[in-house]
Amino acid sequence: MARKKVTIVGAGATGGAMAQRLIERDICDVVLQDDPQFAGTMHFGKALDESQAAAWEGFNHRISATDGWEDTANSDVVVLTAGAPRKPGMSREELLNGNAAIVRAKAAEAAKASPNAVLVIFSNPMDAMCHVAMKASGFPRERVVGQGGALDSARYRYFVSDAIGVSPRDVHGYVIGGHTDTTMVPVVSQTRVGGVPLTDLLPADKVQALVQRAMRGGAEIGELMKVSSAYYAPSAATIAMVEAILMDQRRLIPCSVYHQGEYGIRDVFSGTVCQLGEGGIQRTFELPLTDEEREKVVAAAEATKELLNLITE
């Protein structure tokens, strides 16, 4: 049986954390791909460092690094984390088009090396970068999926569990819509704690406070860390998606998918609950929403369409 392979493009803090979480699951070989112009030899160092953990962590699969694409060939999944943070004085359009150029180039190379792979997009602005990656790769809808909702939902579930005093594993709630602090939509109406509606357990003002904190989850961590953004929870959310695809787990995870009628939305990436397994997205699920939640989901898709109008080829 051929060994499975996952390539992680971008070996920064998040890419490195993803590589560590994945190789220690011992379900596939892992390749860290990066550009020496930006990463130097960091990706080689991280791969070697983690390789030396094998004796104690007990994994037998191989983690390696490369500047090129030959070693990534025939990957089952390629995770794109590459992109630049916004710098002082940089406009949103400049950041958008700078990252679009990076994602466009990386997605095209990844598709050439691994024409049957599933692309998992982490680069920001994530929903818009999914469009860039799908066009550059030529992949079908099912094999291009954005990570945002998995992370946003994990944050939401943690805040709910902390407020009520239960395990996050027993909180079932989804964040859909866009992956920004103004366009994500925590679906309160369908949030359950051990089967009990969240709105039966907490007063409306406390529920709204949890929603607002979840929407600012990344910003709060950035403010606390000062010199970097979050990478532990983002890596966990992404690798849960990768594992579901590799192992055909058919898990239901909120992801960004190219909508073709969900919530009346078409031809744009936005978040909803997806079944992830072999081949990528196997099904999508349209949650029952209140009128207010539905309006916010539609508005999130429209906001992504506005971003797409700013992208130049």
Cα gap 157→14, rounded to integer Å: 21
Indicate whether 233 pLDDT > 70. Answer: yes
Residue 187's pLDDT is 98
pLDDT band at 227 (very low <50, low <70, confident <90, very high): confident
**The predicted structure's pLDDT at residue 208:** 97
* Tokens 């599933």, residue located: 118
- Is residue 16 scored above 80 in pLDDT? yes
Look at the alpha carbons of 114, 301, 222, 199 in this order and tell me if their dihedral is positive or negative.
negative
Q: What is the pLDDT of residue 96?
A: 87
Q: What is the pLDDT of residues 27-41, one digit of tens each?
A: 999 999 999 888 889
* Cross-sheet strand order for the sheet of 192-193: 171-172, 192-193, 196-197
Ranges for all domains in the chain classified under CATH 3.40.50.720: 5-147
Instruction: State the residue for tokens 């003002």.
Output: 205
Which residues are known catalytic residues?
Answer: 179
Which residues make up the CATH 3.90.110.10 domain(s) of the chain? 149-308
State the pLDDT at residue 22: 98
pLDDT tens per residue, range 109-159: 999 999 999 999 999 899 999 999 999 999 999 999 999 899 999 999 999
pLDDT of residue 40: 87
pLDDT, tens digit (0-9, with 9 covering 90-100), for 48-96: 999 999 999 999 999 999 999 999 999 999 999 988 765 556 566 677 8
- What string of H, E and C letters represents the secondary structure of the chain? CCCCEEEEECCCHHHHHHHHHHHCCCCCEEEEECCHHHHCCHHHHHHHHHHCCHHHHCCCCCEEEECCCHHHCCCCEEEECCCCCCCCCCCHHHHHHHHHHHHHHHHHHHHHHCCCCEEEECCCCHHHHHHHHHHHHCCCHHHEEECHHHHHHHHHHHHHHHHHCCCHHHEECCEEECCCCCCEEECHHHCEECCEEHHHHCCHHHHHHHHHHHHCHHHHHHHHHCCCCCCHHHHHHHHHHHHHHHCCCCEEEEEEEEEECHHHCEEEEEEEEEEEECCEEEEEECCCCCHHHHHHHHHHHHHHHHHHCCCCC
| % of the chain surpassing 90 pLDDT | 87
> Does the domain spanning 149-308 belong to CATH 3.30.1490.20?
no
Q: Residue 70 CB: number of other CB atoms within 10 A?
A: 7
Q: What pLDDT digit, counting tens, does each position of 241-268 carry? A: 999 999 999 999 999 999 999 999 999 9
pLDDT at 32: 98
Assigned superfamily of 5-147: NAD(P)-binding Rossmann-like Domain (3.40.50.720)
Q: What is the mean pLDDT of residues 273-288?
A: 98
Report whether pLDDT(1) > 90: no
